[in-house]
Structure 1
Amino acid sequence: MLKKIIAIKNVGKFRNSACGGDTTLARYTLIVGANGFGKTTICAVLRSLKTGDVEHVIGRKTLGVTEPASIELLLGDGVVRFDDATWNNTHPDITIFDGVFVAENVHSGEVVEIDHRRNLYRVIIGDAGVTLAEENAKLASDSRAKTMEISATEQAIKSHIPANMTLTDFIDLPKLDDIDNQITTQESKLTMIRQAASIAARAVLSELVLPSLPDDFMELLAKTIDDIGQDAEQHINAHLAAHGMAADGGDWIVKGIDHITVESCPFCGQNIRGLPLIVAYRAVFGDRYKALGTTITTMKTRISQAFGDTALARLDTAAEQHKNGIEFWGRYCTFDVAPLAYPAELANAICGLSQSALSLLDSKARTPLEAITTDETFTRAIAAYSTVQAQAAALNQAIRQMNAHTNAKKAETGSADVLRAAEADLARLKATKTRHGATVTVLCDNHKLLSTKKDDIDKRKTAIRKQLDKHTNSVVKPYESRINQYLDAFNAGFSITKTKHGYPGGVASSTYQLVINDTTVDVGDGKTPGNMPSFKNTLSAGDRSTLALTFFLAHLEQDEGLANKIVVFDDPFNSQDAFRRRRTINEIMKVARQCAQVIILSHDATFLKQIWDKCPAAERVAMTIADHRKQGSKITPIDLEKACQGRTANDIDDLHTYLSNSEGQHLDIIRKMRVVLETYARTTYSANFDVNDCLGNIVRKIREGGANHPAQALYDELDQINDYTKKYHHGEDLTNITPDQIDPIELTGNTKLTLRIVNALQA
């Protein structure tokens, strides 16, 4: 139990919270304070005391002061202190419902994010489940950390692993004592296999293929055009001879005939109709003559292709390949090289036959109407070529015999699979040597150790998660049911459904859906489009506040240690209607009767008064957080009964109304300012003022008390309000015929000052 806030110094608005008077707390402690005066700071102090997390305090150190933050609290088992940015002790038995609880566990900025889901999960599963969840989260974190360490080690090892070998296979390679000898032996074996592979891949010798004259060559030389008249041919020959064109005049005539389109000479223009010579031309140099010329030209092309330079180049290439083949196979086979030699006169014979054949075709082309007989040159060329053909036949016979030997040798050698297997064996041996080298051994041993540790962590994580799942499944549905009972009790127009858990990112979290008008709505997240129903656009501010409170209340119900807990509520009534306000009070009282102590902070004194009335008189106390200007906020006792007397509460409401929308009579507002301030001073400083002291007497007593008077910090402001209001409070001077004009701006400023003095000005 928190017995007393002895002092909070230099934290938030508290320069020094101590202010005299009896500030002993009770089992039912109610603290009233305007927004911005220090309620949230008190929650932060208690949260830091609960967890030992000093950031809750350090982050709220009073700005503009050099003195360090310090806190002194009296608990049931003694004094705890915060000095030098540390607590001398902690008190875990504290549970707080405030804006931090809502922002961490339910929503922030009207949306539900993954962190809310994770934190709400911890709220749902209770302390027993949280222990398992924390162990699961720690093991998941440890597993990820080990994975990162393993990955770093794997990267270092991979640079030593040969291609086509996995990391696991590399690490598992057994150590071989005679590894160097095994590598040498395998390298020798591989050399032999590679030679065998060359034999298997090498082609056998190719036979020599010689070109032959076309079968219709001799027939073409002897071909004539039989039905040409004797007289026409003689007439043309005589004409060509007379003009010295006997050799190639025929071609000239063939071309010219095609240009005779009218019955006149294309050269001289004379009439040529019926001339005997023209008739002879047309008889001799017709289509068959042209066809014969084409055949001769085609034959020349065929012979040039078969026996010309291109053919000789192919033979040269074949001869070089033949020579290389003999040289290669000579390393592995025994054979007589002489029969395998290409004919020595091969090229000459081909050239001779080609030239003589083309010469005969040239003659035929000059006199296509005459049969051409072979000459001596052609006869000798044929004889020489026949000799070469015979030699080629003998060569091919020798090649076939040779290839029989080489094919047998190829069959004796291994396949490509054998080569690949041998290469793989050598690579494995070399990898084994690398694997068991000093540097890599350390890496592999570390990898094994890390993997073993990770496996152990994962096994424990699996076991813990199994327990956590079992526990979660046992509490989720009852928790959801209890939440919905609370929502119904608060008259909320919605419920939740499909509450379940998962492990996104390895950390346990919860999810749920809303049910509104019998329609299921996903809560969504910050990325949910605004045109989609979700948490942020289907629940009002009051609904969200109610849901957060029900989560907290349901959590308390599951807390087996609630009887020993200090439960803190900071402004639990927020954006609620009158029904929910009363329901909130009832639920707080249920909690208060079950816990060790309840502390309720609120800016609404009348709300606290309703709770006060339900608390046992001997176990309740009310405090206020008052703003003492430069001295900061102070925690002092307050007479809640008097502070919430009907007329004063109504007067404060009227001041608020005027400040908000200028409603109310100006003179009435001025008079109510005095009433509110008098009531506040007499209830807040009851030991220093009489129950009948008016504002003027209160100001006088503070002035006479000097710096030691507890209300000294309020003197200047109270004096200002007193001067402003006293002329309207007393009877008027009838001799003064000029009525006072009330300045609305001045009235507004003094109204605001009055509300701030009594801690009723909304932040």
Structure 2
Amino acid sequence: MLLDGGQVRFDGTAWSATKPEIAIFDGVFVAENVHSGEVVDIEHKRNLYRVIVGDTGVKLAAQDADLAAESRAKTGEISTASKAVQPHVPVGMKLDAFIALPETADIAAQIEAQARNVDALRQAGALRARPVLSEFTIPALPENFADLLARTIDDVAQDAEHRLSEHLAAHGMTASGGNWIADGLGHAGDTCPFCGQDIRELPLIAAFRAVFSERYKALVEEIAAMKAVVMRDMGDAALARLGTVEERNKGGVEFWQKYCAIEAPALTLPTEAVEAIRALAVAAIGLLDRKATAPLEPIMPDEGFNAVCAVYDSAVAAVAEANTAIRAANVAIAEKKAAADGGDLKVAEAELARLTAIQTRHRADVSDLCATYTKLSDEKDAIEARKEAVRKQLDAHTKTVVKPYERRINEYLVAFNAGFTITETKHAYPGGVATSSYQLVINDTAVDLGDSKTPGDRPSFKNTLSAGDRTTLALAFFLAHLERDPAAAGKLVVFDDPFNSQDAFRRRQTVHEIMKVAGKCAQVIVLSHDATFLKQVWDKSPAAERVALTIADHRAQGSKIMPVDLDQACRGRTATDIDDLQTYLTTGAGGLLDIIRKMRVVLETHCRTTYPGSFLADDWLGEMVRKIREGGDTHPAQALYDELDQINDYTSQYHHGENIADATPDQIDPSELTGFTRRTLKIVNALQA
């Protein structure tokens, strides 16, 4: 092919160069942008949108579509990332809420505390019944212990006690002689209970009576009582009670540690306390025993006793610290009991789940998954922002072109006498892709386009427009688009069968519109099987700027593009006859016998003009069929033989002059006639093959 830039060759597979400045109206344009068969589907609406909005809109729509595709791809990546994170998300928590959980430094401690709180709420009854910890009561020496050791009896004479001591020593009674004498005095009156002699006025007896007076007895008894108190309060039984308290506290601490933050070591009885108490008791009893031996002698604590007291005081201080810790623990226990009584278990469990989710969320492996999800989401948001900006530009541009485009379409439809218009042309983004839609207006009634699923009993594109109407609408779309194309002046425009399936009365308007296009573009090529239609275009074209070509079948040599004489092809009344045949095929209008006769005239003219060397000017159809049959495979029209032979047989019985003996031809069947009419038009290339 010879183009402005030079020759372009086709090597059987591809062209040596491309020529994108070509606008083509053909079946592909119709099927892609307007309808497929009788149906308008989503792809037609998407493609039509690009026809409407022009190059500027197409670029924006392409950007929008690319961003929409990029967004969908990113959504797929996000979905994969989401599936990776989802197993770590607690039940009932949304993914975005999980990812947004803030990192917390002491999360492990918070989880531990909240777990105790939840456990406490679950065990509220047990907590209410469980006692608090007991403080340790450390036994101490009686307050008057030191005073008792130092006490004497002022009314006992010193010489009386001396005499008593000498007497006891002289008789070997120092160990317990005092008790024996004290018991004997209880039986003595004025005479000795041993010898019966008068003992009145005896100095020794007076000393005995002084030593063993009531006050003396009271002192001795007080010493004995003091010893009993020490043994009771600081003996093994008292120490055992301390051990019991310690064991009970150990069980309590073990229980309460599940619910409270308390430290067990600080709450135990100091290990040195028991031995310190026992040692102090032993030392105190030793001093009391010394006092009991010489009640009238003051007993002063020795260094050993003081050392034991120092150890005891240290133990008391340690026990005091333990008791302070126990009191603090009991405060925490009381608070936990109160919280358990008034707490909400579900709220606490939810908080524990939240804390656990935080810990999981910021675990290294999960954190990486969340970071990937967040990164992809941010990228998708950026894509959506860019898409939104492009879509705003596209919407603004579309608003400026849709209504004018709709108005121009309707002007074309009126010019073509279409009998319908379009309305409600608008755009939307179903599936994220810019799409155009409109309604048909027939007899002032709006009709939705519908789609392949629209029921047949509902008015729609497929059941309200004829084939010719659909072609006319498609041609109007093409012409309106071309008219708005700023680059139209440099384009080569191809009309491939623009008059196909259209009613005959639209022929002149179609020719007129093609000529308008020819005056505004670089070149127009019109392809058609209808020689009469081409002749009308030819007649309106400047003689110096037109050429008529045909694709002729040369059998073994293939097909050739060669000049054709449109005047010869459309000689006589053939053009009118073809119009009548097309009208009958489309609408059924016309006399049946007249249509049959015109079929023969059209075929005879076609054969003479297409094969001028094979037939004479006065050959009729029957003679032409005979010549093709006799010529065999070498005859140029051999490919038409079967069709011509059958059409000749069908029409000859109705053709006066060939069979004048048959005055009563068979009744004409309209369906059969329609079929032969279509076959006739196909032979003469007046019907799309």
The normalised TM-score by structure 1 is 0.52
Question: Structure 1 residue 509: deviation in Å?
Answer: 1.1
Question: Structure 1 residue 549: deviation in Å?
Answer: 1.4
> What amino acid sits opposite 1:95 in the alignment?
A
Q: In the alignment, which residue of structure 2 is the partner of 1:467?
A: 393
Asked whether the equivalents of residues 101 and 358 of structure 2 are also in contact (C-alpha less than 8 Å), the reply is: no
Counterparts in 2 of 1:328-339, with a 5 A limit? none
SS in 2 for 1:81: coil
Counterparts in 2 of 1:547-558, with a 5 A limit? 547-558=473-484
Residue 452 of structure 2 corresponds to residue 526 of structure 1: yes
Q: In the alignment, which residue of structure 2 is the partner of 1:144?
A: 72
Q: In the alignment, which residue of structure 2 is the partner of 1:397?
A: none
Asked whether the equivalents of residues 34 and 48 of structure 2 are also in contact (C-alpha less than 8 Å), the reply is: yes
Q: 1:112 to 1:143 in 2, by over 3 A?
A: same
Question: Structure 1 residue 567: deviation in Å?
Answer: 1.2
Q: 1:82 to 1:475 in 2, by over 3 A?
A: farther
Q: 1:136 to 1:82 in 2, by over 3 A?
A: farther
Tell me the distance in 2 between the aligned counterparts of 1:605 and 1:456: 58
Q: In the alignment, which residue of structure 2 is the partner of 1:112?
A: 40
Question: Structure 1 residue 330: deviation in Å?
Answer: 11
Q: 1:691 to 1:107 in 2, by over 3 A?
A: same
Q: 2:360 aligns with which of 426, 431, 441?
A: 431
Counterparts in 2 of 1:150-299, with a 5 A limit? 150-163=78-91, 165-172=93-100, 182=106, 185-186=109-110, 189-190=113-114, 193=117, 196-197=120-121, 200-202=124-126
Tell me the distance in 2 between the aligned counterparts of 1:587 and 1:574: 15
Question: Structure 1 residue 139: deviation in Å?
Answer: 0.8
Q: 1:500 to 1:675 in 2, by over 3 A?
A: closer
Deviations 1:6-30 (A, max 9, x none): xxxxxxxxxxxxxxxxxxxxxxxxx
Asked whether the equivalents of residues 657 and 663 of structure 1 are also in contact (C-alpha less than 8 Å), the reply is: no
Q: 1:187 to 1:147 in 2, by over 3 A?
A: closer
Deviations 1:712-760 (A, max 9, x none): 9779899999x99xxxxxxx9xxxxx9999x99xxx9999999776545
Q: In the alignment, which residue of structure 1 is the partner of 2:422?
A: 496
Asked whether the equivalents of residues 624 and 638 of structure 1 are also in contact (C-alpha less than 8 Å), the reply is: yes
SS in 1 for 2:611: helix
Question: Structure 1 residue 141: deviation in Å?
Answer: 1.4
Q: In the alignment, which residue of structure 2 is the partner of 1:385?
A: none
> What amino acid sits opposite 1:139 in the alignment?
L
Asked whether the equivalents of residues 498 and 512 of structure 1 are also in contact (C-alpha less than 8 Å), the reply is: yes
Asked whether the equivalents of residues 153 and 443 of structure 1 are also in contact (C-alpha less than 8 Å), the reply is: yes
Tell me the distance in 1 between the aligned counterparts of 2:98 and 2:581: 84
Asked whether the equivalents of residues 549 and 563 of structure 2 are also in contact (C-alpha less than 8 Å), the reply is: yes
Q: 1:151 to 1:672 in 2, by over 3 A?
A: closer
Q: 1:199 to 1:411 in 2, by over 3 A?
A: farther
**Greater relative contact order (Cα < 8 A, sep 6+):** 1
Q: 1:423 to 1:644 in 2, by over 3 A?
A: same
Residue 534 of structure 2 corresponds to residue 608 of structure 1: yes
Q: 2:51 aligns with which of 95, 98, 123?
A: 123
Deviations 1:528-571 (A, max 9, x none): 33333333333333332222211111111110111111111122
Asked whether the equivalents of residues 127 and 559 of structure 1 are also in contact (C-alpha less than 8 Å), the reply is: yes
Q: In the alignment, which residue of structure 1 is the partner of 2:17?
A: 89
Tell me the distance in 1 between the aligned counterparts of 2:330 and 2:429: 70
Question: Structure 1 residue 88: deviation in Å?
Answer: 4.0
Counterparts in 2 of 1:391-410, with a 5 A limit? 410=334
Gaps in structure 2 of 5+ consecutive residues: 131-250, 258-266, 268-328, 650-656, 667-672
SS in 2 for 1:501: strand
Tell me the distance in 2 between the aligned counterparts of 1:553 and 1:544: 14
Rg larger for: 2
Tell me the distance in 2 between the aligned counterparts of 1:185 and 1:670: 104
Asked whether the equivalents of residues 81 and 87 of structure 1 are also in contact (C-alpha less than 8 Å), the reply is: yes
Q: 1:192 to 1:138 in 2, by over 3 A?
A: closer
Q: In the alignment, which residue of structure 2 is the partner of 1:561?
A: 487
Residue 573 of structure 2 corresponds to residue 573 of structure 1: no
Q: 1:681 aligns with which of 600, 611, 617?
A: 611
Q: 1:132 to 1:328 in 2, by over 3 A?
A: same
Deviations 1:464-523 (A, max 9, x none): 000000000000111111112112222232222221111111111112222233333323
Tell me the distance in 2 between the aligned counterparts of 1:752 and 1:498: 38
Q: In the alignment, which residue of structure 1 is the partner of 2:324?
A: none
Asked whether the equivalents of residues 90 and 353 of structure 2 are also in contact (C-alpha less than 8 Å), the reply is: no
Residue 34 of structure 2 corresponds to residue 103 of structure 1: no
> What amino acid sits opposite 1:142 in the alignment?
E
Question: Structure 1 residue 623: deviation in Å?
Answer: 1.5
Q: 1:89 to 1:419 in 2, by over 3 A?
A: same
Q: In the alignment, which residue of structure 2 is the partner of 1:617?
A: 543
Q: 1:331 to 1:716 in 2, by over 3 A?
A: closer
Asked whether the equivalents of residues 114 and 348 of structure 2 are also in contact (C-alpha less than 8 Å), the reply is: yes
SS in 2 for 1:159: helix
> What amino acid sits opposite 1:455 in the alignment?
D
Residue 587 of structure 2 corresponds to residue 663 of structure 1: no
Q: 1:192 to 1:105 in 2, by over 3 A?
A: closer
SS in 2 for 1:646: coil
Deviations 1:598-647 (A, max 9, x none): 11111111111011000011111111233445665443221111111114
Asked whether the equivalents of residues 628 and 713 of structure 1 are also in contact (C-alpha less than 8 Å), the reply is: no
Counterparts in 2 of 1:7-18, with a 5 A limit? none
Asked whether the equivalents of residues 427 and 436 of structure 2 are also in contact (C-alpha less than 8 Å), the reply is: yes
Q: In the alignment, which residue of structure 1 is the partner of 2:231?
A: none
Question: Structure 1 residue 183: deviation in Å?
Answer: 5.9
Asked whether the equivalents of residues 565 and 596 of structure 1 are also in contact (C-alpha less than 8 Å), the reply is: yes
SS in 2 for 1:123: helix
The normalised TM-score by structure 2 is 0.57
Residue 8 of structure 2 corresponds to residue 79 of structure 1: yes
> What amino acid sits opposite 1:636 in the alignment?
M
Tell me the distance in 1 between the aligned counterparts of 2:114 and 2:601: 113
Asked whether the equivalents of residues 529 and 687 of structure 2 are also in contact (C-alpha less than 8 Å), the reply is: no
Q: In the alignment, which residue of structure 2 is the partner of 1:588?
A: 514
Deviations 1:625-672 (A, max 9, x none): 334456654432211111111145467789999999983799998798
Q: 1:454 to 1:546 in 2, by over 3 A?
A: same
Question: Structure 1 residue 463: deviation in Å?
Answer: 0.7
SS in 2 for 1:107: coil
Q: In the alignment, which residue of structure 2 is the partner of 1:261?
A: none
Q: 1:142 to 1:204 in 2, by over 3 A?
A: closer
Superposition RMSD on alpha carbons, in Å?
A: 5.3
Deviations 1:555-601 (A, max 9, x none): 11110111111111122124444442111110110011111111111
Q: In the alignment, which residue of structure 2 is the partner of 1:381?
A: none
> What amino acid sits opposite 2:607 in the alignment?
L
Asked whether the equivalents of residues 197 and 413 of structure 1 are also in contact (C-alpha less than 8 Å), the reply is: no
Deviations 1:22-79 (A, max 9, x none): xxxxxxxxxxxxxxxxxxxxxxxxxxxxxxxxxxxxxxxxxxxxxxxxxxxx664431
Tell me the distance in 2 between the aligned counterparts of 1:559 and 1:649: 35
Q: 1:679 to 1:122 in 2, by over 3 A?
A: same
Residue 446 of structure 2 corresponds to residue 446 of structure 1: no
Q: 1:467 to 1:135 in 2, by over 3 A?
A: same
> What amino acid sits opposite 2:40 in the alignment?
V
> What amino acid sits opposite 2:28 in the alignment?
V
Asked whether the equivalents of residues 9 and 15 of structure 2 are also in contact (C-alpha less than 8 Å), the reply is: yes
Tell me the distance in 2 between the aligned counterparts of 1:634 and 1:113: 39
> What amino acid sits opposite 1:502 in the alignment?
A
SS in 2 for 1:491: coil
Q: 1:516 aligns with which of 425, 436, 442?
A: 442
Residue 433 of structure 2 corresponds to residue 507 of structure 1: yes
Q: Percent identity?
A: 53
Tell me the distance in 1 between the aligned counterparts of 2:61 and 2:517: 26
Question: Structure 1 residue 200: deviation in Å?
Answer: 4.1
Tell me the distance in 1 between the aligned counterparts of 2:478 and 2:678: 36
Tell me the distance in 1 between the aligned counterparts of 2:600 and 2:428: 61
